[in-house]
Structure 1
Amino acid sequence: MTAMPLPFANRTEAGRLLGEALMDYRGRMDLLVLALPRGGVPVAAEVARALEAPLDLMLVRKLGVPTQPELAMGAIASGGAQVLNADVVRALSISQETIDRVAESEQHELERRETTYRGTRKPPELAGRCVILVDDGLATGATMRVAARAAAAQGPAELVVAVPVASTEAVGLVAEQADRVVELATPEPFMGVGAWYEVFTQTTDDEVRALLQEAWQRNPSAG
């Protein structure tokens, strides 16, 4: 069921609307908003601004099926967390060798982004904090599931997943990893995240860096 008119104009508008839906978290001193790069950063930047919360990253990479890169067979996160989409792996008879090869390649990209986005800045401590993980949407939920697993391993006081749009299946899967899932819309049929945005161009590394620098100048207490 759709909770509000779609499509969103762009990620910035979606982030503003998502921030409004999360206003009950505003004022918490332990609050931290973590964006999933790259598309989740413009959304999370608006959420962090609305909640007056620090912003940082949860670096995650989708493991795409080699013959269908947009189809996620799993995901990995910084720190070694990995989640596999068992249905996709089984249906396409994907070997462990293939999974390992793709995971190794994506690990290199994870490390590149860590350096590109953060430089020498250390990742924030999550223990004892209220952490809100933000992306621009959930299709299979594989990327967010591994992000939530990696975050949960650090012992946050509360773990929230927040997205503008999601499939009902993904919400159910992610809810197993988080204390709360907030989504503005769950349209049926889903048809992919990009279908619910008027503008869904790729977010660049430069845009990610600029949004992070702005947020860190405004609220330097993410670490």
Structure 2
Amino acid sequence: MSATRRVSLPFADREQAGTLLAEILADAGLADPVILALPRGGVAVAEPIAERLQAPLEVLVTRKIGHPVQPELGLGAIAEGGEPVFDLGMLQRLEIDEDELAPVVERERRELARRVSAYRRERPMPALAGRDVVVVDDGLATGGTARAALRAVRRSRPRRLVLAVPVGSSKTVTALRDEADEVVVLATPPGFHAVGQWYLRFEQLTDADVLRLLRQGR
């Protein structure tokens, strides 16, 4: 099942987008929900959702797996608690074997662990088994990190797994429907090139911003 709503674009900022998402999720019949935000931008969207639902807010750290020579070219992603998820079509076109990406994966595992430590300190991940889990990001472009996140959460056996984003590529949203029990998207506009084009304010957040938002959410 998926849900899409018509909204006026662009969003003012991530907080406004999260407030709009929260109104939809409040009527979704979620039971004992946990809100997991993909840092950094997803945390700013998730904070008003957690407040509206009176649900715990936590980060789910993900890392892109880039090309060994062109790191900005994403070939996959990894999320804490999960295994690497590769774009197999891209690997085939570039004639790259997964084994060749082992050094990149190991480097991203180390950075992932650093960020988990920085964001969560000594806090354990909330128990997810048997609960409704909402994974939140600020938008879907290729969907690589969202896919890795959803597969990692699925391993914890949630009762219901929801992906909630303000805006996304219609192709990516369709592709992710099989990864979640429900996909909630406010808009899938034509001419989608990058998430930031659909926000008036889309500043890069820092680790300090993430920690501040998590404190607010708790």
TM-score range, shorter chain: over 0.9
CA distance in 2, matches of 1:212, 1:194: 22
| Cα RMSD, aligned residues only | 1.7
Aligned to 1:117: 119
Give per-residue Cα distances to partners, 1:25-71, cap 9 Å, x unaligned: 47x55111100111100001111112121111111111123454443
**Aligned-pair distance for 1:175?**
1.0
Figure out how many residues of one structure are paired with residues of the other and give that number: 215
Aligned to 2:74: 72
Aligned to 1:196: 198
SS in structure 1 opposite 2:212?
helix
Contact 2:22 2:53 in 1 (8 A): yes
- Partner amino acid for 1:136? D
Say which of 5, 9, 12 aligns to 2:12: 9
CA distance in 2, matches of 1:74, 1:60: 11
Contact 2:47 2:216 in 1 (8 A): no
CA distance in 2, matches of 1:67, 1:186: 32
Give per-residue Cα distances to partners, 1:99-141, cap 9 Å, x unaligned: 2122111111100011101111111110000000000011111
Gaps of 5+ in 2: none
Pairing of 1:77-92 with structure 2 (within 5 A): 77-92=79-94
SS in structure 1 opposite 2:58?
strand
- Paired-residue identity, %: 48
Contact 1:2 1:187 in 2 (8 A): no
Gaps of 5+ in 1: 217-223
SS in structure 2 opposite 1:162?
strand
State the TM-score, normalizing by the size of structure 1: 0.90
